[in-house]
Structure 1
Amino acid sequence: MLPLVGSFRDYFQKVKEAQELNKKVCGNCYNYDYDGYVFVNELEERMRPDYLTEYFPKYIAKHGVPKMRFHDLRHSCASLLLANGVPLKQIQEWLGHSDFSTTANIYAHLDYRSKISSAQAMEQGMLLPRSDDFGCRWEDVTEQGKIAEPDLNPIFD
């Protein structure tokens, strides 16, 4: 079971209130077979199972949203949760994946923040050579801007 928070709770409370009003207005015509369902019409008849996937492309086109499938919202949800620091285990539970590896395999590549923290841990744990230990490769550039040929037969005094 997932918690209803903030605006989601408010929205579904309004849906419930509208359904209660519909019961009063429709009287005997109201279909109590699906009482308590969220996705029903004014007579409490269930929406067609394909309604959302059929209507979704029209909705996003109307609102200027880039073309996507309805299922892509699920991936967007997971990506947003991950980007906001929600652990993969919690995302697994939110998405309803029965196996953690499913969530990890699909979404772990999106966890850029953890890659940054891993890189920072490596930086703190590794001793890197001092930058002044490296010679400058441009020291051998002549005034004309050409790289000087190395002396293959140096004379040592």
Structure 2
Amino acid sequence: MDESFGSDRVEAARAELREEVEAALERGSKAQAFLDQIEDVRGEGASKGGVVRVSVDSSGMPISVVVDGFPKLGDAFIEAFQRAVQDLGAGIADRAADSYGASSVESREFLQAFGSRREISAELEVAVRGGFDRFGCLRPEGVRRAAAGRSGDLSRRGVR
């Protein structure tokens, strides 16, 4: 058997693999650029007659609600919505801990970002944790940190 034939096949496979890696990195770079570009996009909507106006961030989360004649009602809606999202996240974090174990990689990010319903007393004030304050941003910081750890392009940027 000709040894040069075998090494040619190995080198061709390496070249093909390098091309696939470069193509994947390019697609990843384009996807990140897209996410960066849409991060500041906002949506605006109003009810018929314009009595209620809502602004949402690029993830669809409401960031502003204005109700004509009731200036505090919009802020109360945003506060209630944030609490509902926090509670939802805490419930998901508990399920992740039940499924994977509280110390697992899968559940640690959830628990860090949302906390646990088991830890939150009904009498205590529920605060939106920094890792999940999605209002005004596309992704939670935990996702940004994970993405930054995998891409050299992201590591030079500060996490917002």
TM-score by length of 2: 0.32
| Larger RCO, structure (CA 8 Å, separation 6 or more) | 2
TM (norm. structure 1) is 0.32
Point out the structure with max Rg over C-alpha. 1
Larger strand proportion, structure 1 or 2? Answer: 2
